[in-house]
Amino acid sequence: MQNTLEFKKMCHSIYDPIHGEKKISEVFNHIDNNTFNKLIIIYQNTFLDRYNEIKKYARKNKVLDISNTDFYVNSIQHFIEKDYSL
């Protein structure tokens, strides 16, 4: 639970200034703990595999939107690398 909350805060801190709070809320606020944990697991694949697997997962997950795959990949990368400040 804590990681999901921290993840969402991180997303807003990084992306709000670029894309706006409304857009980032639409992309990330619906992500629950299970979806977040699955994204973390998928991310551990090679770059091409992670991108393709996140797309596949987004197609069958009602919380995610396949058009935001780039956001998901990039945000998980920032989160795992801890290259952000809150």
Residue 49 φ then ψ, to 5°: -65, -45
Q: How many domains does the chain have?
A: 1
Neighbours of 7 (CB within 10 A): 19
Predicted model pTM: 0.90
In a domain, 72, yes or no: yes
pLDDT digits (tens, 9 = 90+) for 16-35: 999 999 999 999 999 999 99
Give me the torsion for CA of 66, 59, 28, 83, rounded to 10°.
-70
In a domain, 44, yes or no: yes
Report the alpha-carbon distance of residue 27 to residue 21 in Å, rounded: 10
How much helix, strand and coil, in percent to the nearest 5, is found in the chain?
80, 0, 20
In a domain, 86, yes or no: no
Residue 69: give the domain boundaries.
2-81
In a domain, 62, yes or no: yes
pLDDT digits (tens, 9 = 90+) for 28-55: 999 999 999 999 999 999 989 999 999 9
